[in-house]
Structure 1
Amino acid sequence: MSIEAIWLLLLGLSLLLAIMSGMPVMLAISGIPVLIGFIAASFGHFDLSFFGAFPQRVFGIMNNPLLIAVPLFVLMGILLERSKVAERMLLIMASFFGGSRSGLAYSVLIVSALIAASTGIIGATIVMLGMISLPALLKAGVSVRLSSGLICASGTLGQIIPPSIVLILLGDQISNAYIEAQQNIGNFAPDPVSVGDLFAGALIPGLLLVALYGVYVFVYGKFMATEPSAEQLEQQQSMAVAVSYAAITTTFLPPILLIVAVLGSILFGVATPTEAAAVGVAGTLLIAAANSPNANRATKVFALLGALAAFSLTLLVSLGLSRIDFSTAEIEFAAGSVIALLLSACLLAALLNSAWRLYKDAVLGSAIRHSISVSGMVFAIIIAASMLSLVFRGFDGDELVEQLLGNIPGDKWGALLAVMLVIFLLGFILEFIEILFIVIPVVGPVLLAMDFHPVWFAIMIAINLQTSFLTPPFGFALFYFRSVAPASISTVDIYKSVIPFVLIQILAMFILVAFPQLVTWLPEQVFR
């Protein structure tokens, strides 16, 4: 074993001990590498000049326009979660299905998919579903295992269904790793990998998971469910309230249009992910204000006018009206430009009115504070991971990883399996942000040089992380659900409830290995 490998082993063990001891991950992955680097330098085994590249890396992170989308999508998710839109959707959907047990289960699944596509915040989704839907599911006679497993699994769909914060951060890392891999094999002009590619690639696998969950719910209800008691039948009948199509439309249409606007603008090249995130925040402000319990008629009218103005602006862009550049000295006020300015003023007025409504309801302020907290944590970990990456490369860790993966039996598939297993195990003790920014820069260039499609590789990582967060005994999703589950549901019951869904996740990964076109087809059709 080389001296560099010994120092890397010491670095890894020190990081593991620091994280397991409860030290904040950001401090561990930045402080421990610096400490090990200085100790190794005192023995002449580390070049301290590597630390000189750290300010440049931090500056690069600060100037990365893609990362601006992270706080915007976080704010979008928190606003939707606190606006009670999901609660309304769940109640309307349950009534639409007649209050039946299978109908309630399908309602949770459908609403979870919509919320995942709107927010992407896993913990909040699981807690919200547990508080709202779990009592109704249990009273209607849905078994504890199906209810618990469905809520845990459905709540993790935000990992894979776009727009997902996981996919945004993963897209940034995969893009860098793919460029490095291509340069290492002599291709100095590779096709870029964008977040839009990952969004398009994740769409079909995400819907596949929803469909597989639905099949399991159907099979369970058909062959494994017990007969409901008289009390449970009474509960089902009480939920079977007639629902008008107007109620369904006003409840589901705004979130669906928001998802279409955000995803569609990215997939069809109308907007960058950052611009689409801004569109999402604007739409969320209108939806949240209109659904406020204190919203008056004027607020709802303003929200509707704002939505119509946004739609009209989109039509103008699709008809060929270019963006107005106010930095130029001369602006030609054509008819289309004047209309666009008026529509923009209308949209701005609607947004200000919605923001004021949410501010008075104490929703906007708390959502912004929470968004700042989450975003600050994300960027602190990104910066800290840059220090770890520098020290790792200073010990020639990239060459060691390349040799290690190259010597694993099974050629490239053996290397991929080993990396996926490491990521899966790390998911028990680390959040996805730490895993993405620690593991991908190390193993990504090596694996992507083995002729794996970068988008397919990224989606496999996302589903693997989702599976890890769902797997007992350390899956984060289980802890979130435990925090809101009643004491009558034991921890063992929760563990048993998610096992079928973990197997479904593994089945989905095997399907994507056998048919990688399920991931790569849509990005090639949209962006190539």
Structure 2
Amino acid sequence: MPLPLDLLMFAALIGGILLGYPVSFSIAGVATLFALLGWGLGAFDISLMGALGQRIFGLLTNDVLIAIPLFVFMGVILERSRIAEELLETMGRLFGSIRGGLGVSVVLVGALLAASTGIVGATVVAMGMIALPTMLRNGYSPKLASGIVCTSGTLGQIIPPSTLLIILSDVMSNAYQQAQFEQGKFTIETISVGQIFAAALMPGLVLVGIYIVYLLVRAWLIPSDAPAMREEVVKPSLLEIGSAILPPVVLILAVLGSILGGVATPSEAASVGAIGAVLMAGIRKGASVPLVLLGGLSLIALAILSGLLPIRLQRSDIGGFEIAMAGFYILLSVVGTISIAVSLRQIFKADILKAALTSTMTVTAMIFATILTASVFSLVFVGLGGEDRLADILQSMPGGATGALIFCMLIIFILGFFLDFVEITVILLPLIAPALILMGHDPMWLAVLIAINLQTSFLTPPFGFSLFYLRGAAPKEVTTGHIYLGVIPFIALQIVGVILIWFWPEIAVWLPAKIY
């Protein structure tokens, strides 16, 4: 009986990662080792490795993935400009007088930060340093407080725009196309990032609602776990609420609205978000408010007018009106550029820009290194017959398409205990998603179910990233045991969210059907 090299390859990868080797090196090393081993045993055609260059070129020229560093930069700038602190402080004062109100405010701030930054680590650390001590001072159970912070921080993975959804949209689009090719279709449909964003928006808000209902019910049943604020605080005025909430909301509407409305591609919308974050941070660090606002309005006007009335100066029939409009466009560009330059100067002086660029490069390099090496891994895995084996396993599952999906969701959930969402998305999903789509599952509904499952991987011990982030930022009185026990009810709530979307697919597919 021949060795099941494909299964041994997957087991070796998990073993290498658990031993503590860098993920990208583990993926590439295991793939190379098993390619050579399979070639030596006659189980792998080494000429398949010739396709590697084309795969890497396709990845590096992928328009969708270009948006990742821009969204990361936007999130880091917003996090370092202390917008999270002001939001938490304002929302805490607004809801703190009711039982469970502080927890509700943390969830709502987590949702806002998720939609404006999309970075789990930054959100968890910020709330762990600001909100967690406040909840403990006011009598919250350390376990509940830890669970609230960890879970609210992970909303950045399901509420768009998020890095997970961008990578997932690319993977699911490729899987959908592959499934259509296997069905013999000549007219191939694709899935856009905007469609995945639209599909994930309502489920993300449903999860926020589930968390809030759970907190209010628990505070009512066990008042000692989530009491009203003991500290005397002044209710925020409407102006304070507006100044804290309005800027991130405007940025969210600009970024998501431009993608969902079909006005901009994801990379263009990410550029809008990055510039908007720079302008907001510039104001907070001392830039002239009128100048920055004027610059921002100039850039918005330029985007709208140039779309409605594009000017081509190289045309021979251009008239005086077109020349005047071109001059006006140039003026808008100059004003916008000056406001950006002033904002960049202020955040550079505040030591934000260099740290933000370094963090952006680090996160982007990690993500792209994982995606690149995963491409090598999947090529070798397919060459060893792993794709056919997985398809056979899924086809033989009791319960047909439903049984196969339950099996895959369990595998993803279990792998989430040990692997990061990037590894699961780019290694496992390209192998199982085409088979699931061929079985009849809607690709966007499937993408949302998987996204919530992957979001849960941030919470599952022992290697949940949110748990590590909070452990580093939490006060000494919060133990690792408190954090691990605190997230268990929220993992159950995640499962409730998956069940709701499973039985009511309209939650995921209604909005994309309306928009697209």
Q: TM-score range by the shorter chain?
A: over 0.9
Q: Name the residue aligned to 1:35.
A: 33
- 2:71 pairs, out of 70, 73, 85, with 73
CA distance in 1, matches of 2:166, 2:409: 20
Structure 2: runs of 5+ lacking an equivalent: none
Q: Name the residue aligned to 1:345.
A: 334
Alpha carbons 1:33, 1:387 under 8 Å: kept: yes
Q: Name the residue aligned to 2:244.
A: 251
Alpha carbons 1:117, 1:162 under 8 Å: kept: yes
1:481 aligns with 2:470: yes
> CA 1:114–1:395 in structure 2 vs 1: closer, same or farther (change >3 Å)?
same
Alpha carbons 1:204, 1:519 under 8 Å: kept: yes
**Post-superposition offset of 1:32:** 1.3
Between stretches 414-423 and 10-19, larger displacement belongs to: 10-19
Counterparts of residues 97-176 of structure 1 (less than 5 Å): 97=95, 99-176=97-174
**AA partner of residue 244 (structure 1):** S
1:518 aligns with 2:507: yes
Alpha carbons 1:212, 1:504 under 8 Å: kept: yes
**Post-superposition offset of 1:175:** 0.4
SS in 1 for 2:4: helix
CA distance in 2, matches of 1:11, 1:111: 42
SS in 2 for 1:269: coil
Deviations 1:23-75 (A, max 9, x none): 11101111211111112212322111011111111111111111110000010
> CA 1:228–1:63 in structure 2 vs 1: closer, same or farther (change >3 Å)?
closer
> CA 1:221–1:335 in structure 2 vs 1: closer, same or farther (change >3 Å)?
farther
Q: Name the residue aligned to 2:270.
A: 277
- 1:445 pairs, out of 434, 437, 444, with 434
- 1:202 pairs, out of 197, 200, 203, with 200
CA distance in 2, matches of 1:325, 1:474: 56
**Post-superposition offset of 1:463:** 0.1
Counterparts of residues 370-449 of structure 1 (less than 5 Å): 370-449=359-438
Q: Name the residue aligned to 1:301.
A: 290
CA distance in 2, matches of 1:328, 1:446: 52
1:46 aligns with 2:34: no
Q: Name the residue aligned to 2:94.
A: 96
**Post-superposition offset of 1:179:** 0.1
Deviations 1:357-397 (A, max 9, x none): 11111101110011011101111111101111110111122
Counterparts of residues 307-386 of structure 1 (less than 5 Å): 307-316=296-305, 320-322=308-310, 333=322, 335-386=324-375
- 1:491 pairs, out of 480, 483, 487, with 480
- 2:62 pairs, out of 54, 61, 64, with 64
> CA 1:133–1:176 in structure 2 vs 1: closer, same or farther (change >3 Å)?
same
Deviations 1:281-321 (A, max 9, x none): 000001111112xx15x2x2222112222332354357x22
**AA partner of residue 241 (structure 2):** I
CA distance in 2, matches of 1:265, 1:143: 42
SS in 2 for 1:161: coil
1:265 aligns with 2:253: no
TM-score (ref. length: structure 2): 0.95
Alpha carbons 1:101, 1:141 under 8 Å: kept: no
Alpha carbons 1:316, 1:336 under 8 Å: kept: no
**AA partner of residue 400 (structure 1):** R
CA distance in 2, matches of 1:65, 1:202: 21
TM-score (ref. length: structure 1): 0.93
**AA partner of residue 114 (structure 1):** L
**AA partner of residue 207 (structure 2):** L
CA distance in 2, matches of 1:351, 1:271: 21
1:241 aligns with 2:239: no
> CA 1:267–1:331 in structure 2 vs 1: closer, same or farther (change >3 Å)?
farther
CA distance in 2, matches of 1:108, 1:255: 16
Alpha carbons 2:176, 2:443 under 8 Å: kept: yes
> CA 1:378–1:244 in structure 2 vs 1: closer, same or farther (change >3 Å)?
same
CA distance in 1, matches of 2:313, 2:386: 49
> CA 1:317–1:206 in structure 2 vs 1: closer, same or farther (change >3 Å)?
farther
Alpha carbons 2:150, 2:487 under 8 Å: kept: yes
CA distance in 2, matches of 1:112, 1:19: 30
1:290 aligns with 2:283: yes
Between stretches 476-485 and 254-263, larger displacement belongs to: 476-485
CA distance in 1, matches of 2:397, 2:438: 15
**Post-superposition offset of 1:328:** 7.8
Q: Name the residue aligned to 2:179.
A: 181
Deviations 1:219-273 (A, max 9, x none): 11212112999xx86x421xx2142322222221111000000000000000000
> CA 1:64–1:326 in structure 2 vs 1: closer, same or farther (change >3 Å)?
farther
Q: Name the residue aligned to 2:22.
A: 24
Structure 1: runs of 5+ lacking an equivalent: none
SS in 1 for 2:114: helix
Alpha carbons 1:181, 1:445 under 8 Å: kept: yes
Deviations 1:152-205 (A, max 9, x none): 110100110000110000000100010001110112223210110010000100
CA distance in 2, matches of 1:248, 1:336: 39
Q: Name the residue aligned to 2:218.
A: 220
CA distance in 2, matches of 1:108, 1:499: 18
**Post-superposition offset of 1:92:** 1.4
SS in 2 for 1:276: helix
SS in 2 for 1:108: helix
> CA 1:71–1:327 in structure 2 vs 1: closer, same or farther (change >3 Å)?
farther
**AA partner of residue 291 (structure 2):** F
- 1:469 pairs, out of 433, 458, 466, with 458
CA distance in 1, matches of 2:494, 2:313: 50
Q: Name the residue aligned to 1:12.
A: 10
Identity rate, percent = 44
CA distance in 1, matches of 2:45, 2:210: 52
